[in-house]
Structures are given as structure tokens and as C-alpha cells.
Amino acid sequence: MVPVPTTPIGSYDIQSVNGKPVPVVIAADGNYTQEFTAGTIALGADTKYTVVLTTRLTIPGNVQVFVDSTTGTWVQAGNAIQLTNGADGTNASGTWDKGLLTFVSLDDKATYVYYQRRK
């Protein structure tokens, strides 16, 4: 049996967006499809974080993969986690409970769920 983590420090893999497993379509019309294909978040003991998201954009006859990363600092208050983007100072809020991180994006109203990787 794997022990329940007692701290959010660690690395997490994205598992779902809006309740759908990754890869998941996040935007589409007749001319293109955009999908989240992978993502990770790492919360360091030094209160720094890194998020890496991979998206795939498919336009008829052309597929492009984009990898975007964000870094900054994080704080915990109870089960609440707040990320502060190091580039622009924006915040993202989420919750942590027994190895599960959940973030709700206010700009696109998406819910991102990450599970802690166990090694």
C-alpha cells in the first residue's frame, strides 16, 4: 500500500480537464482542433513551481505540437494552494488533498486535475 502524502511538495501529472481524461479536446470547429495532450506541475520545497502543458493543434494538412511552461511561487493554507506566476504576477488557486491537486482556471472556466506521481 502506498502511503498517503502529507505535503503537496512533489511532481504531478495532469489526468483530466473538465472531467475528461487527457488527451482532451479543448477547442474545435470545422477548421481546427486543439487538444491538451500532457501536462505536469512540480511544487518544490523552496516554494517554487513549474507547470508544463503540451497542446496539439490540428489544422487540415498540418499538426503542430506546442509546449508551454510557467514558473513562479506557491503557498499553502490548509488544503488551499495558490500559485503566483513569476512573469506577470497572476494567481491560480486550487486545492490539494491526499495527492490530488485540482485547479479551476477563471479565464476559461476549466477544471484541471493532477495526480501526484509516486516513485
90-114, pLDDT tens digit by residue?
888 899 987 888 987 766 667 888 8
CATH superfamily of 10-114: NlpE, N-terminal domain (2.40.128.300)
pLDDT at residue 2 tops 80: no
pLDDT at 119 (0 to 100): 41
| Alpha carbon distance 89, 60 (integer Å) | 37
**Residue in 63, 56, 50, 26 with CA at minimum distance from that of residue 38:** 56
For residue 96, give every residue at least 6 positions away whose Cβ sits within 8 Å of its Cβ, in sequence order, or none: 8, 76, 79, 80, 81
107: burial class by Cβ within 10 Å (0-12, 13-18, 19+)?
Answer: exposed
Model confidence, pTM: 0.85
Say how far apart CA 13 and CA 41 lie, in whole Å.
Answer: 7
What are the residue boundaries of the structural domains of the chain, listed by start? 10-114
CA trace torsion 6, 51, 82, 20 (10° rounding) = -80
| Cβ atoms of residues 17 and 111 within 8 Å | yes
